[in-house]
Structure 1
């Protein structure tokens, strides 16, 4: 089947997009006329901005939300929502091709309908934006402004030249794709996470520059949808922040999917040859080139700090790390805070939302809550997923914290075996000599859901001894967490403890 949209599909897509745009950036919107200072002005309506607006409005304060482009930011429009919709479709095709693994017959002809996948993506994105539409925000008491926000002094902010008086401000302008300075790239054309979900044709050959979470997720999705995908990564490993055995497990999965991964490799130039893009590569002293139909830059994200007049407001920042904040998320201007990707190194939606809630409590309620006290997990949604919370071993070692790790391979977990999903593990790190959980990494198809149990235990101060007593429904994959806890309990059975237990048993014999 030709993957081009036919006329009827295009009409449907256009209608869905019009509905979405009307919800997140209506043409007929008129900015309010502020009469008194807002108790909180939020600049940026992405995940952090929406979370802060919701919490502030619930407190009954006067709150304004300023957005330059579309309500929902990266997560709803060009990030989490569309990518997870596409990943799910790609997983279905992968399971069809691998049906024998599940005791089923492989369909005679697994033909990818890329148009249908993209139509579903757009429908889901449009549906979910209804939960954060401009008019719904206004109905909760939030004054929504569209336009360019700019500081004109430490206590002066405007939108398109219109003054917006404030008592406190939260900057939540997010981040944008970090496009490499690669000769010929702009002339040849490239994709980022902001443009790839607008594709109407599946690229036959796709080059992904960068082996971070975004690059890995989309590389696997497009490979499973039928593209021939190659990842080039300048580092000797991808997912450089994750534990090595987690990244290696994913590397094995990529190999099974047919993804080519070239580590220690850098693109040096791009040129166009007919309908092809030719990318020159260098690995150590070896030079080569690859011909592809599309290039995705997935090397990271840069904070949006330009054009805001931050220097006029006395806000310290740089273009690499973004706005500088303390542990309470205050900037160098005591009336101005920041949250989300514009100031955090961990650019995840859950981090953005939680940092925004901290700002609301500190800025409006006189709180002194600290980001460092939060236990926030994250997940890379490849197959298998890689989820993490808390400390890594290397971080504990750097701080001189003695650590002990308990690992349960998923092939020892009954539900993983019955599902033919034995790839991965549960790994929980403890402070040596105690049952206090310092961190955990889970690699499994359901890792993003499983990590929440460990996160809850860490927040509640529940140790491994208590986790060992938590009864799980059988068979479930989260049983692996209890198995790790029971393995910890086994280490408490020292010779002295066993001798004492033996004497007690003899007394009751």
Structure 2
């Protein structure tokens, strides 16, 4: 058996793990990385990358084969950046095995025993498959298999109306499939209600059936002829089934009890510094049960590097982490939604808003559906919602504002090129100040006095 001693042991080569490994080794640490499956993790192979490639393919009017060729080509183009060869070239020791704790500071990976000063668990998550009666006898897809379908589904049934389900619904509809989304509660239920309704209305106009409050009670049938019976008696029929009801942390292989690491079914428990109950072990990304976004894992990697490499205090925050659903129109959010902000701040909250329909570029290009809504307390944004064309791009500005705790005046003072869609953000800031300037008797009185005295 080979024995390895290392400064930093990273378990899992998804976005978070790769960010820690690359950052730590380039700063002089001895780094060992374990990955028993695919480098790049879920995001590259089954999530963000292939889903956005498929959405683009549908928008570009590709046929089924062209679309799937585009997905594979996209993954292949990005793969070298996440490859074993690249990380070994950086100086990382890469072991292509799964890891399991054999003591609080030791991990077994195949025939190798690794002792580490600090350990980072970044094993991510996998599709959650609920125990719906009959599901064990019916073929179904998850995000890990849907991109490998050889033949186009005639009618795709999707259980789950979250971001994954809604994005896949639109992608497959644009590729010529009939699609029904079956959601036990409310589709896009974690997002701003008003914004979510705009997305759902657009998708229904595109021919996608979205069935809400339809809790699946039984699944029956066979390949090509599947039925889903809801608890209220509704029955939905289709040829293929995609399960998109959420994620579960990848912790079963880790032997966490041996390492004294607290966990439950939602993931590994961490404190604000992302440390587990074993103070030499961190957990980042999906596996710690927090925000399940690639960019959140990347951000957490930076927090850990500060702590593990330099011994400096570092705490993770979540209020400045944006997210987006890449439907058409797109839906993006950072910080508090309007409902959350009203609950937290009450009468102190002001909501600034600007509709896409008032933007000249949106009018010129036919993208007038949507709005920007900013939740403001004492002049500072505490959240922003954008629904509309390229919302995922426009939310970047509010991410910059919120992380740096800037005021609305910083956005109002920005000059946007004309005509640009990005001007919707500046106009939203303008909407915040307009009542203060144009409806203020004090301002009008001052202007009147100044005008009398000016030569």
TM category (shorter chain) comes to: over 0.9
> Does the CA contact (< 8 Å) of 2:50 and 2:147 recur in 1?
yes
1:124 pairs with 2:68:
no
* Corresponding position: 1:290 with 2:236: yes
CA deviations over 1:133-189 (Å, ceiling 9, x no partner): 101100001111111211112122111252101000010010000112112212211
Q: Does 1:503 align with 2:449?
A: yes
Correspondence for 2:50: 82
What is the TM-score of this pair, normalised by structure 2? 0.96
Distance 1:275 1:405 in 2: 49
Residues 309-344 of structure 1: per-residue CA shift (max 9 Å, x gap) = 10110100011x200001110100000001000014
* SS of equivalent to 2:153: coil
Distance 1:221 1:373 in 2: 30
Equivalent residue of 1:272, what SS? strand
The 5 Å alignment of 1:221-236 reads 221-235=171-185
Q: How is 1:334-353 mapped onto 2 (pairs within 5 angstroms)?
A: 334-353=279-298
Aligned to 1:270: 219
Q: Are the structure 2 counterparts of residues 314 and 407 from structure 1 closer, same or farther at C-alpha, using a change threshold of 3 Å?
A: same
> CA 1:34 to 1:508, structure 2 compared with 1: closer, same or farther past 3 Å?
farther
Q: 2:390 aligns with which of 446, 452, 463?
A: 446
* Secondary structure class of the residue paired with 2:16: helix
Deviates more, 1:157-166 or 1:45-54: 157-166
Alpha-carbon distance in 1 for matches of 2:17, 2:184: 34
Whether 1:256 and 2:196 are equivalent positions in the alignment is: no
| Partner residue in 2 for 1:69 | 37
1:289 Cα deviation (Å)? 1.8
Give the CA deviation at 1:461. Answer: 2.9
The residue number in structure 1 matching 2:26 is 58
Tell me, what secondary structure is at the counterpart of 1:45? coil
After superposition, the Cα gap between the structure-2 partners of 1:337 and 1:298, relative to the gap in structure 1 and judged at 3 Å, is: same
1:423-434 to 2 correspondence within 5 Å?
A: 423-431=369-377, 434=378
* Cα distance in 2 for residues equivalent to 1:85 and 1:273: 29
C-alpha spacing 1:309/1:161, structure 2 compared with 1 (3 Å): farther
In 1: Cα distance, 2:328 partner to 2:413 partner: 30
**Which residue of the other structure, out of 421, 426, 434, is the alignment partner of 1:490?**
434
Q: What is the rounded CA distance, in whole Å, between the counterparts of 2:338 and 2:231 in structure 1?
A: 32
Asked if 1 retains the 8 angstrom alpha-carbon contact of 2:139 and 2:222, the reply is: no
CA offsets 1:180-209 (integer angstroms, 9 cap, x no match): 211221221100000001111110001000
- Extract structure 1 runs of 4+ deviating beyond 4 A: 32-35
Is 2:33–2:92's contact at 8 Å kept on the other side of the alignment?
yes
Q: Is the 8 A contact 1:77 1:125 kept in 2?
A: yes
Alignment-derived partner of residue 368 in structure 1: 313
C-alpha contact 1:408 1:480 (8 A) present in aligned 2: yes
How is 1:88-103 mapped onto 2 (pairs within 5 angstroms)? 88-93=56-61
- Partner of 1:40, secondary structure, is strand
Query: 1:374: how far off?
Result: 6.0
8 A Cα contact 1:209 1:231, kept in partner: yes
Would you say 1:309 and 2:255 are equivalent positions?
yes
What is the CA deviation profile of residues 449-490 of structure 1, one whole-angstrom value per residue up to 9, with x for unaligned ones? 111111112223321112112111111111011111112221
Corresponding residue SS for 1:399: helix
Corresponding position: 1:415 with 2:361: yes
> Any conservation in 1 of the 2:351–2:432 contact (CA below 8 Å)?
no
Deviation at 1:246, TM superposition (A): 0.8
CA RMSD of aligned residues (A): 1.5
Corresponding position of 1:19: none
> In the alignment, is the contact (CA less than 8 A) between 2:381 and 2:407 conserved in 1?
yes
1-structure distance, mates of 2:410, 2:158: 44
SS at match of 2:245: coil
Q: Quote the residue 2:164 is aligned against.
A: 214
SS in 1 for 2:278: coil
Query: 2 CA distance for matches of 1:78 and 1:330?
Result: 28
Report SS of the residue matched to 1:296: strand
List alignment gaps of at least 5 residues for structure 2.
none
Aligned-pair CA distance for 1:444: 1.5
1:476 aligns with 2:420: yes
Describe the SS at the equivalent of 1:165: strand
Q: 1:240 aligns with which of 166, 185, 189?
A: 189
Equivalent residue for 1:355, pick from 294, 300, 315: 300
Residues of 1 paired with 2:267 and 2:404: CA distance?
32
- In 1, the alpha carbon distance for the partners of 2:294 and 2:193 equals 24
Equivalents in 2 of 1:439, 1:274: separation in Å? 45
Counterparts of 2:112 and 2:430, CA distance in 1: 62
SS of the equivalent of 1:353 reads: helix
Q: Structure 1, unaligned stretches of length 5 or more? A: 1-31, 94-111
Matches within 5 A, 1:30-49: 34-35=3-4, 37-49=5-17
- 1:147 and 2:97 are equivalent in the alignment: yes
2:133 alignment partner in structure 1 = 183
Give me the whole-angstrom Cα distance separating, in 1, the residues matched to 2:227 and 2:187. 23
Change beyond 3 A, Cα 1:272–1:373: closer
Aligned residues: 452
